[in-house]
Amino acid sequence: MRGDADPAGMRVALVAMETSHLSDTPGNRRLEQVARGLAGRGHEVTVFCTQFWRGTDSERVVDGVRYRPVTLGRAPRSFFASLPAVLARHRPDVVHTRPTPPGQVLAASVGGTLARAPLVIEWYGDEGLDTDRRLTRAAVSRPDLVVSPSELVRTRVREFGVPGERVEVIPESIDFDRVRGVEPAREVDVAYAHPLDGSANVESLLLGLAELRDRDWSARVIGDGPQREAYERQAADLRIDDRVEFVGACDRERRLAIYRGTHAFVQTAYREYFATELLWALACGCIGIVEYQAESSAHELIENYERSFRVTNPQQLADAIVDCGEFERLSVEDSWAGYHHDAVAGRYADAYERLTAEYGLL
């Protein structure tokens, strides 16, 4: 599903003092996916970072993205002090960074000003910004645009004083071609996926399934973590452990195979800045069943999607599983192709072009 290259490639500078190679967080991984997507569309993308590779090479190219070190080790003050001049020499069309640490934003802002380039912040939601709200407010007053993955995160961005017109929602992306390239696994009725930690809330799923104890169904729970044994004991206590299979973390290929063989995907986790696994499952043809949670954006994905149910308690969840019988089984759903990596990268490119056009008029 690779789209055509954008007609006029831009020079994009991404600033990440710590990439996912040094700090493997969802927000860092998202920024690097944006970099790969833009590079795939023909843009010149350079990530200015702390060196994460061994040796004396002055740069590293990965998946078409150029990584250039500002410092050789974790030295925040040196990184912040050196960054503006580095960006000024690079002369990018746009500078894109994350809101943490705030000093990174301030340095990127100065560099962008010197290079006469607009500043974009990628605000995923996992940054832990409450430690210094004053400094964060000062930093996030600088960008020309803040990008968030969901309306949930957009609301939090606005709580830091960023005007709503300067916040744009651009969702997570998936590789739709991989969905088609995986053979479906053995059919089951229900799947769930999330790290089995304190925010997993598998309990809601298990209680809902227990309400259907007298019906014929099967379920798979994907994920591992400190709460796995507790959830396995709960399934046994509810006398449904013979029909609930805990399959562990699983790689992406295995997950897609499971989703393609599953009728409904249940989302109950307490916290999701963007429900990426739900998106993968919907693309694989699953019916989406989402239990509303105040700290989760999952309900946003299915708000206008017919093959879905929104619930608020285990009994409603059980009823929704039964009502899934109204919908045919699918193993791929083309209506989610707009979330393919290339399509979402195109939304970033459009935002950049709009900003650079506006910036040139200032």
Which residues, in sequence order, are CB contacts of 322 under 8 Å at separation 6+? 212, 215
CA distances from 195 to 27, 190, 311 (A): 16, 17, 21
Q: Give residue 180's pLDDT.
A: 93
Half-sphere exposure of 110 (CA within 13 A, CB side): 12
Least confident piece of the model among 84-88, 131-135, 244-248, 338-342: 131-135
Residue type, 16: A
In the chain, domain spans: 11-173+340-357, 176-337
Q: Give residue 136's pLDDT.
A: 78
List phi, psi (to 5°) of 20.
-65, -15
Q: Rounded CA gap, 98 and 120, in Å?
A: 8
Single pTM value for the model = 0.94
Neighbours of 156 (CB within 10 A): 18
Q: CB under 8 Å, gap of 24 or more: what pairs does 153-161 form?
A: 153/123, 153/124, 153/125, 153/273, 153/274, 153/297, 156/123, 156/125, 157/123, 160/129, 160/133, 160/136, 161/137
Half-sphere exposure of 307 (CA within 13 A, CB side): 23
Q: Give residue 55's pLDDT.
A: 79
Q: Rounded CA gap, 28 and 360, in Å?
A: 29
Calculate mean pLDDT across residues 186-203.
Answer: 97
- For the 11-173+340-357 domain, the top CATH level (class) is alpha beta
Cα angle 346-49-159, degrees, rounded to a multiple of 5: 65
pLDDT in tens, 61-88: 999 999 999 998 888 999 999 999 999 9
CATH architecture under which domain 176-337 falls: 3-Layer(aba) Sandwich (3.40)
Return the percentage of the chain with pLDDT > 90, whole number.
82
Q: Do domains 11-173+340-357 and 176-337 have the same CATH topology?
A: yes
* Gyration radius (Cα) of the chain, Å: 22
Least confident piece of the model among 59-73, 208-222, 243-257, 260-274: 59-73
Least confident piece of the model among 129-138, 161-170, 216-225: 129-138
Cα angle 66-101-40, degrees, rounded to a multiple of 5: 25
Least confident piece of the model among 75-79, 129-133, 137-141, 170-174: 129-133
Widest Cα–Cα separation across the chain: 69
Q: Give residue 362's pLDDT.
A: 44
Closest to 347 in 3D by CA, of 149, 64, 154: 149
